[in-house]
Structure 1
């Protein structure tokens, strides 16, 4: 089951992310619990995705007019807030003029350019055992509201395998000091300062799956030029 704000919590089953920019910087190293992990003080590349004016998912900006998120997040009128760690204030807001999808990845073409620090995308999947960073505004406990401030956590890669619901390979990982949950969908996962995945789903307790950016790297370049 995908991580969505509209998902119901069932009693018997709970289903269901920095970085070197085009003008490169490294992933944040300061205090960074997502469920667990820590809050983030600065993330100029972060993008909060809204559906019909309500927060829906997390994302990242990869170029002046392109945001990368999850396809399953998108319904109705879509807009984004970029460059603020607070999903409801600060940064720059922009409308979305076009949406392109492949597997569970989505590229949002913004109606206006946003000048900020952009995420750099990886060219190879992370190795099994790698400790990566995830980011998002998702729920901070099973039944809590989404976090008002961006959060981050470390996770450990367990496999590159399987498929998201639309046929794309996923990066599977186990909980580190935190785990993704509803609202973290579309958020980035980074390895060595470059984005390797986009949050697809997770169980909110022990593990999560991220759609592989690398598997769709050619498509991303074709659509966005990145």
Structure 2
């Protein structure tokens, strides 16, 4: 995964499917998330698609792969029986909920329990790259527990998860990981000048044994067993930025009750 582009897509910038700048990490076709460890911006061309390096995961019952019109786009987590947490840029093209779906609870993105978004129940924060989505039925699994302010700090080593791109030499949509991956990253800043794709409070980090890329957008950052971030941007080489969800707990709770 990388910082400058959105992590959601294979498009430049965000982590949607696909560097230190403010580009999302989406998976090309739809993905637009961005992750970065600094407030500097990087052009869309600098962003790459999935967790680069890192390692595959054996079990992640809280994991959710996000699809828009059946196209793999972003990563996400389930935080309550009927609620998914992801990045705003991952759902920007499906804010009414139509065409938005998830595979939940399996490390293989093609498996897990399938759920569709409830039309009209895609909730987007007005100033941060974070969204909460209601699904059409309750899923029984282990939900991602959310951290509180102070759960993560500068100098910590944390884990980032996603199905994003594993290459930087071709379109990120062509190298989305079939199996969920995890990478250790080192926290360089919390809040302060560290911001997400939309200027919200963020956790910035540097490459440890891997980095997010396109398609990792919306995926979780964990400090120990607790989720503290949502993938926003990455430069796919050195730096990434995650929405600091510990700063938005009241908003999340007002919608999802957790």
The TM tier, using the shorter chain, reads 0.7 to 0.9
Deviations 1:165-224 (A, max 9, x none): 323111000000000000000000011210000000101111110001011110001111
Q: What residue in structure 1 maps to residue 138 of structure 2?
A: 113
CA–CA distance in 2 between the matches of 1:11 and 1:170? Answer: 20
Tell me whether 1:135 sits opposite 2:122 in the alignment: no
CA deviation after TM superposition for structure 1 residue 138, in Å: 0.4
Shift of 1:3: 2.4
Partner residue in 2 for 1:177: 209
Shift of 1:85: 0.5
Map residues 1-226 of structure 1 onto 2, 5 A cutoff: 1-8=5-12, 13-15=45-47, 34-74=51-91, 75-76=93-94, 77-89=99-111, 91-97=112-118, 98-102=121-125, 103-125=128-150, 126-142=152-168, 143=170, 144-161=174-191, 162-226=194-258
* CA positional deviation for 1:42: 1.0
Task: Return the alpha-carbon distance in structure 1 between the equivalents of residues 178 and 219 of structure 2.
Answer: 15
TM-score for both structures, normalised by structure 2: 0.77
Using the TM superposition, give the Cα deviation of residue 5 of structure 1 relative to its aligned residue in structure 2, in angstroms: 1.9
Matched residue of 1:185: which SS?
Answer: coil
Greater RCO, 1 or 2 (C-alpha within 8 Å, sep 6+):
2
Question: Over aligned residue pairs, what C-alpha RMSD do you find?
Answer: 1.9
Mark the runs of 5 or more structure 1 residues left unpaired by the alignment.
17-32
TM-score (structure 1 length as normaliser): 0.87
Count of matched residue positions in the alignment of Structure 1 and Structure 2: 209
Shift in Å at residue 132 of structure 1? 0.2
Contact in 1 for aligned 2:83/2:133 (Cα 8 Å): yes
Mapped contact 1:168–1:215 kept (Cα < 8 A)? no
Contact 2:12 2:47 in 1 (8 A): no
Q: Which runs of 5+ in 2 are unaligned?
A: 14-41
Q: In structure 2, how many angstroms separate the alpha carbons of the residues matched to 1:11 and 1:164? A: 15
Q: 2: distance between equivalents of 1:46 and 1:136? A: 9
